[in-house]
Amino acid sequence: MTLGEGKVEPGGTLGVFGGGQLGRMFGIAAREMGFRFAVYSDGPGGPAAQIADVAVQGAYDDEEAIAAFARQVDAVTFEFENVPAIAGSVAARHTPVRPHGSLLHTVQDRTREKEGLVALGLPVAPFEAIAAASDLAAARERIPGAGVLKTSSFGYDGKGQARIESGAELAAAWRGLGEVPCVLEALVPFEEEISVIVARGVTGDVAIYEPFANEHTNHILDVTTCPAGLEPSVALEVERIARAVVEGLDVVGVLCVELFRLGDGTILVNEVAPRPHNSGHLTIDAHTCSQFEQQVRAVAGLPLGSSERVGPPAAMSNLLGDLWANGAPDFAAALSIPEVSLHLYGKAKPRPGRKMGHLTATAPTVEQAAARVRAARAALTGA
């Protein structure tokens, strides 16, 4: 069901590789716009499969199963970047893949990602690639001070990382990470971690959301606030970087750029996520067009929506499985606080550190929104 080349009309089927909460929220937005929704995942059930018209379980490197799935959908995307690149390549033989599958190859490896950002002329913290023990000495010489050693692949929410205080600790940290390919990043004295969600359509149109400020606990995003309160010149630099990334990588879809703001206002790119991002969840309640509706529009080849915030400042807090340690949270208590919205992901088994859902709050000021969402989360456990 197409409106024209590359476009899928409501009533068509949009697919996603990955069965987690990002796929679920993409599916909810797709259904609200009248699309059918199909999910391909390597595990049974899951948040996305719960709401899907079609749910297929299979390995991400099963080319026959991938091809069969792709033939059932009018366009397909992915909800996380660790889907093997072969899945995108095989699917592209049968249906549009947005963003293009080759982007996975770039962002699945931190070395390739950082080198790609440098090639685009974008500012990043000093880094050194470590592929083998023979690279340790050069990395230690070039980054002799404090740094963060990260596995090149399959690291997220603080997994696959080790902080070192000096180059003398590098060899031991590398052994602790399993002697796999890594990237050593110099530790920069940033004042704030910010992120920006940007979408790009099939015609090259771009929609950029205002930047968000992020606070992390134990390497997991804890609270996001919007707006970030940046100086106008800094906000313009963030917008320039976001546009350069999404255009330079030829993305059709939604992408998040995570950045560091230094004390002098300098902006450095930290990481890129070629999909909707945890920090953008507040757009569901606070913006004209959520990051997930924007993803649906881009994947379907339709015009992008407005990225404007429609109401007062907003804040989002993650709900981790720790909140279930002493029984079911008191959702009524949280929802008794004005202007608070609850989003749960349908996960049956809460575990410490597992993202089970999030809360969003709005208020006249960003500080009040942050206080309100923290109070609502505390009310879940009577804290």
pLDDT per residue as tens digits for the range 212-230: 999 999 889 999 999 999 9
Give the DSSP letter of residue 231: -
Measured CA to CA, the distance from residue 261 to residue 277 in angstroms comes to: 19
| pLDDT one-digit tens code per residue, 227-253 | 999 999 999 999 999 999 999 999 999
DSSP notation for 238-258? HHHHHHHHHHHTT--EEEEEE
Give pLDDT, residue 157.
Answer: 57
| pLDDT one-digit tens code per residue, 160-203 | 889 999 989 999 999 999 999 999 999 999 999 999 999 999 99
CATH code of 190-380, in short, is: 3.30.470.20
Mean pLDDT over each residue of the chain, to the nearest integer: 94
Give the DSSP letter of residue 27: H
Tell me: pLDDT of 309 over 90: yes
Average pLDDT over residues 344-371: 97
Fold for the domain defined by 13-97: Rossmann fold (3.40.50)
User: What contacts 234, CB < 8 A, 6 or more positions away?
Assistant: 261, 265, 267
Give the DSSP letter of residue 187: P
- Please list the residue range(s) of the chain that carry CATH number 3.40.50.20: 13-97
Average pLDDT over residues 332-354: 96
Report the DSSP beta bridge partners of residue 197.
256
| pLDDT one-digit tens code per residue, 70-109 | 999 999 999 988 888 899 999 999 999 999 988 888 888 8
76-108 burial: b if 16+ Cβ within 10 Å, else e: bbbbbbebbbbbbbbbbebbbbbbbbebbebbb
382 dihedral zone (left: phi>0; alpha: psi -120 to 50; beta): left
- Please list the residue range(s) of the chain that carry CATH number 3.30.1490.20: 126-186
Average pLDDT over residues 134-158: 85
- Could you say which of 3.30.1490.20, 3.20.20.70, 1.10.150.110, 1.10.287.3510 is the CATH number of the domain covering 126-186? 3.30.1490.20
